[in-house]
Amino acid sequence: MWDSESESVAGRDYDNGLLSSNKHGVQTDRFEQRGKSWFVATDIPSDFLVLIGDFSFHLHKYPLLSRSGKMNRIIYDSREVELSKVLMDDIPGGAEAFELAAKFCYGIAVDLTATNISGLRCAAEYLEMTEDLEEGNLIFKTEAFLSYVVLSSWRDSIVVLKSCEKLSPWAENLQIVRRCSESIAWKACANPKGIRWQYTGKPMKVSSPSWNEMKDSSPSRSPVPPDWWYEDVSILRIDHFVRVITAIKVKGMRYEMIGAAITHYATKSLPGLIKEGTGGGLNEEGSSSGGGMAVSGNWKGGLHMIVAGNKEDHSSITQARDQRMIIESLISIIPPQKDSVSCSFLLQLLRMANLLKVAPALVTELEKRVGMQFEQATLADLLIPCYNKTEAMYDVDLVQRLLEHFLIQEQMDGSSPGRQPVTEKHMYEGIQRSSNSNAKMRVARLVDSYLTEVSRDKNLSLTKFQVLAEALPESARSCDDGLYRAIDSYLKAHPTLSEHERKRLCRVMDCQKLSMDACMHAAQNERLPLRVVVQVLFSEQVKISNAIASTSIKDTNAGDSHYQPMVQNRKTLLEGTPQSFQEGWAAAKKDINTLKFELETVKTKYLELQNEMENLQRQFDKVTKPKQQSAWTSGWKKLSKMTKMSTLENNDVGNQSNVAQAARKNPRRWRNSIS
């Protein structure tokens, strides 16, 4: 039916798009306009005035009564005997549509085009120009033009659907929107190789040429790309775009194509994306701005991003409301498949959704979609400002939620294989485990880079930093260099942290996963706690010793594969250690010896205080003893005291001999410990 626009009207006679009425009571061939008033070019004076907004139409009753049922009811049901004026501000299509309908009533030829057909069809319905009054009335002829001309043409369907934006709810009730949407969907799902009709890769003109001019134009002969229809549907209003995309989904188009069309529509309708706090903005046109408000104006197929400025006037509030509606509608029609749209696009939508206070349920759904493909995100996309009334610069809680959704999705993907053969199931599990591991490693690098960037914010709390750093499992990081950089950056930006807080911060890092360069930097880093420096040095010493031992043993015993890596002598270890590392280790050993000496001093003082306390206790006991005792009682007490003293002396002698024997058998060893 719509293989060719030039063939869509073949065999049908519509007077070349001209509508006329042969029966009328007033002979005329034109209307005359004087300012905002229209007059019929005839010698008969007008007896009926129609007011529509600022326009006035000086007409005659009989031609209107013969065609319009509404005019019949208004005139004959009126209480006035001679009604000469009527107000019709609510007519769909306004004065332009009524002008065409009035000309049709007078028998003047009316040129139907894709631009005026929807308004004229709605005006005909409003005026009740049905077949009951006269055969071939305006409703019948406009319906025929819509069905046989407009819906068979790609460009006309787009233009008519665009013109329906000002005709709600009439265009909806008359099914014009639904029919145009389905026509566009059918043509968009067609095989590009078989397309004969014209389309545009550029923004369409404001008005479409008449259908009889377009039928003579030659169809496009160049190869048709798969995305040929993106640009044309991007001029539609958001509710009509949603209708078209919904119809395309029903027709079975691939989700990647639908996602690309949604992305293209968003870049056209939401071109300005200003990043607060960065002094610049990104938009599709390549321009940047750092001010508080984007360029605003009347909406003609596109909106501009509104960032709250000093003055919130009515226009900015209206545009913000329109943008919120666009974002909510786009979120609701994004295909559920994982890679239907890019993660970068989802994060840009999420940034704008938080700024414009989109419905929380849709924001949560969008966050889950980002979590499904979080490994595809970039650092620039994650640096979303915190639009809540907080002092923090970036929305760290949002990234934390995205990471949680990613981990939940990874866990669900790991348990997704169902009933499969054993060999296929094992292969699937192996591939899935490998992909999950790679995704987690990419996310770990992304999170470390994000922590390094946001750590410069002086208002970022230690708890948020620690929770985000510990959100990923330990297996996600094969090297903790990125995490060390983030910790060092946080310590540099927060110099007032206590010793306990610095230890708590460094606890998120595994010293054994640091590279040689990171260890050398950490050994000289004065911001790290001493205990962390010692751990770094000790772990690196163990690595070096194992590496040297492994190399030497492999050289000497090439055939022996079972060996224990160990350091042969201290001189070999020191020769293979860098000078800066040796200096750091020497300083750490000096600090350890100092601490040991202080500990021994404290122990000695403790023993002295304990002896003094025992002496004071004995003196106190002597003072508190009763002076008068019987000889019998004192004798028994002396005897029991002597017995206890002899027993204790025997035990002490036995213990001393045992200790001496044990010391001779096992000479004391000092532990090689750093604690």
Average pLDDT score over residue span 246-265: 93
d(Cα 439, Cα 406) in Å, to the nearest integer? Answer: 10
pLDDT at 145: 95
pLDDT at 299: 34
Average pLDDT score over residue span 482-487: 92
Helix (H) or strand (E) holding 34: strand 31-34
Top pLDDT among 494 and 196 is at 494
| Among 451-465, 479-493, 568-582, 616-630, the least confident range | 568-582
d(Cα 530, Cα 674) in Å, to the nearest integer? Answer: 12
Give the pLDDT confidence of 197-219 residue by residue, as tens digits: 677 654 444 444 444 444 444 44
Decide if 530 contacts 540 (C-beta within 8 A).
no
Confidence band for 222, pLDDT divided at 50, 70 and 90: low
pLDDT at 217: 44
| Among 6-20, 212-226, 277-291, 554-568, the least confident range | 277-291
The pLDDT mean for the chain works out to: 76
Beta strands (DSSP E) in 182-279 are 272-275
Top pLDDT among 631 and 278 is at 631
Provide the angle, in degrees to the nearest 10, between the axes of the packed helices 516-523 and 481-493: 30
pLDDT at 636: 52
Confidence band for 583, pLDDT divided at 50, 70 and 90: low
Residue 528 has pLDDT above 90, yes or no: no
Residue 301 has pLDDT above 80, yes or no: no
Which residue bears the tokens 């078209």? 244
Average pLDDT score over residue span 93-121: 92
Residue 303 has pLDDT above 50, yes or no: no
Top pLDDT among 283 and 513 is at 513
pLDDT at 652: 53
pLDDT at 226: 85
Confidence band for 238, pLDDT divided at 50, 70 and 90: very high
pLDDT at 26: 58
Top pLDDT among 334 and 437 is at 334
pLDDT at 369: 93
Top pLDDT among 252 and 26 is at 252
Residue 161 Cα distances to 75, 145, 243, angstroms: 34, 15, 11
d(Cα 6, Cα 273) in Å, to the nearest integer? Answer: 42
Residue 252 has pLDDT above 60, yes or no: yes
Q: DSSP state, 32?
A: E
pLDDT at 585: 62
pLDDT at 522: 86
Average pLDDT score over residue span 527-531: 86
Average pLDDT score over residue span 571-588: 56
List, as one string, the DSSP characters of 334-373: S-SSTTSS-HHHHHHHHHHHHHTT--HHHHHHHHHHHHHT
Q: Three-state secondary structure along 67-107?
A: CCHHHHHHHHCCCCCCCCEEECCCCCCHHHHHHHHHHHHCC
Residue 135 has pLDDT above 80, yes or no: yes
60-66 LR contacts (CB < 8 Å, sep 24+): 60/25, 60/26, 62/25, 62/26, 63/24, 63/25, 63/26, 63/102, 63/105, 63/106, 63/107, 64/102, 64/105, 66/23, 66/24, 66/25, 66/105, 66/133, 66/134
Residue 365 has pLDDT above 90, yes or no: yes
Average pLDDT score over residue span 388-416: 85
Handedness of CA 487, 491, 492, 493 (dihedral sign): positive
